Amino acid sequence: MPVDVFVVKGADAAQNAYEAMSRVFDEDASQLSILLKVNSGFKGKPATGLCTHPEAVRGLVRFFKEKHVKKLYVGDSSIVGTDTIEALKSVGIWQVCEEEGVECLNLDDSGIQERDIPDPVMVERLKLSRLAFEVDRVVSVPVMKTHMYAGASLSIKNMKGCLYQRDKTRLHRIFKPLPENARGKCLDYGIMDLAKICYADYALVDGTIAMEGFGPSGGTPVEMDLAVASKSPVAADIVSLRLMGMEPGDAPHIDLVRENKGLDENDIRVFPEDYLKWAKRFVRAGEQDLGLHYPQFSTLDRGACSACHAAVLQFFRYHHADFPDKGHITIACGSDLKEEELRAAAAEGEVVLVGNCTARFRDSYPFCKGCPPVPSQIKRTIEGGKTYDD
Ligand code: SF4
């Protein structure tokens, strides 16, 4: 059965979102409560590709208001260690909601909903924000961006923001063997498990200002000036990947969810047909980017989540020049680290473990605790050459 995806390109972000949603939404909104699940994972500047563009949110709010929606919410829950309301304010979404008279909220404030995962691969049960299950419809409204560990962060991965508080980090702390012939990492299968219970009814991928390179927080803005909408989030993500010049294998969780939802890629119809004239080849996220900027350092990232990435980036930003007397340093983070990889890194210089996910190796290397860790404490750990866990 065909699945339709619409791409709308233009200079007005609000108009693009409005038009794209009007192509896919055909219900009586006056009978529905709807959550626009935006991406405001980080604090930062508006319209930089870090978070959903506030004008795209405005376009959707106006669309649903004109449809006389029964109740509309705009919300998210930011990465661990970031205040969600401050993030929503910093990226301009809060202000748009105030101007449009719509409730904007931290999803964690709606309470907890625990759900079992059917046929679990990596996680059996997750805690989520209740509102995502109380509303009649959820629209996933991510910003289009690359992701250093998941390949890309689009409408499926955006739903990770519905995980309650620290449960957001659980998918990064999986210590299970991968299935035979695995096509991804533990995180990819964890996201697939999440999508079995928390999958939006609609997707509106905001490609106004996207992000390439060292996403999800340290990449470079890319002007795309488009919006991608579908009733099928996975189809919207596949089309978004194509617009980013990426293949399904570049973001394995999307392909795993496609398979799990039984979608044949050949069944996706895209309007307009010649939409790839707007595609760009995005620079992929990768740890080598950091190495280029900070030659004294390497990162050994094996499954760390966005919160650790943000802490390590901040550490580099503010402290990369603080160790002139030291040689090469490897910052190791993430739950999938292997002993032999650490040993190989130690042969090249110092190794510093960062984040609670690395605690099992703390007897062998200096360790900076925290979930997420604090950048200044990473510095102290390197200076002391010993475990910092006071
Ligand atoms: S220690 Fe780091 S990678 Fe592990 S869950 Fe916490 S923030 Fe994420």
Paired with 333 in beta bridges are 301, 354
- What are the residues whose beta carbons fall under 8 Å from the beta carbon of 344, sequence distance 6 or more? none
DSSP reduced 3-state for 14: helix
Q: Is 171 in the pocket of ligand 1 (CB under 6 A)?
A: no
What was the pLDDT predicted at 185?
Answer: 85
Q: Is 148 in the pocket of ligand 1 (CB under 6 A)?
A: no
What was the pLDDT predicted at 291?
Answer: 52
List the residue whose alpha carbon is closest to atom 5 of ligand 1.
169
List the residue whose alpha carbon is closest to atom 3 of ligand 1.
304
Q: Is 196 in the pocket of ligand 1 (CB under 6 A)?
A: no
CA distances from 201 to 261, 301, 379 (A): 13, 33, 44
How many residues are recorded in the chain?
390
What was the pLDDT predicted at 372?
Answer: 85
Q: Is 357 in the pocket of ligand 1 (CB under 6 A)?
A: yes
What was the pLDDT predicted at 288?
Answer: 44
How far away, in angstroms, is 239 Cα from ligand 1 center? 30
Ligand 1 pocket test, candidate residues 185, 299, 305, most atoms within 8 A of CB:
305
Paired with 222 in beta bridges are 210
How far away, in angstroms, is 371 Cα from ligand 1 center? 5
Q: Is 355 in the pocket of ligand 1 (CB under 6 A)?
A: yes
Q: What is the pLDDT of residues 269-288, one digit of tens each?
A: 999 999 999 999 999 876 44
pTM for the model? 0.84
* Angle of the 233-243 helix axis to the 252-260 helix axis, nearest 10: 150
If phi > 0 it is left, if psi is from -120 to 50 it is alpha, else beta; for residue 236 that is alpha
Please determine, looking at this structure, whether the domain spanning 3-278 carries the CATH number 3.40.50.11440: yes
Q: Is 308 in the pocket of ligand 1 (CB under 6 A)?
A: yes
- Taking 50 as the pLDDT cut, the residues of the chain under it are 287-288, 390
What was the pLDDT predicted at 287?
Answer: 45
What was the pLDDT predicted at 26?
Answer: 96
Q: Where in the chain is the domain with CATH 3.40.50.11440?
A: 3-278
The first and second tokens of residue 100, run together, are 């449009």
CA distances from 80 to 12, 36, 120, 170, 315 (A): 33, 21, 24, 11, 17
Q: How far apart are CA 160 and CA 178, in angstroms?
A: 20
Paired with 190 in beta bridges are none
Q: Is 356 in the pocket of ligand 1 (CB under 6 A)?
A: yes
Q: Is 172 in the pocket of ligand 1 (CB under 6 A)?
A: yes
List the residue whose alpha carbon is closest to atom 8 of ligand 1.
305
What was the pLDDT predicted at 71?
Answer: 98
How far away, in angstroms, is 162 Cα from ligand 1 center? 17
How far away, in angstroms, is 355 Cα from ligand 1 center? 6
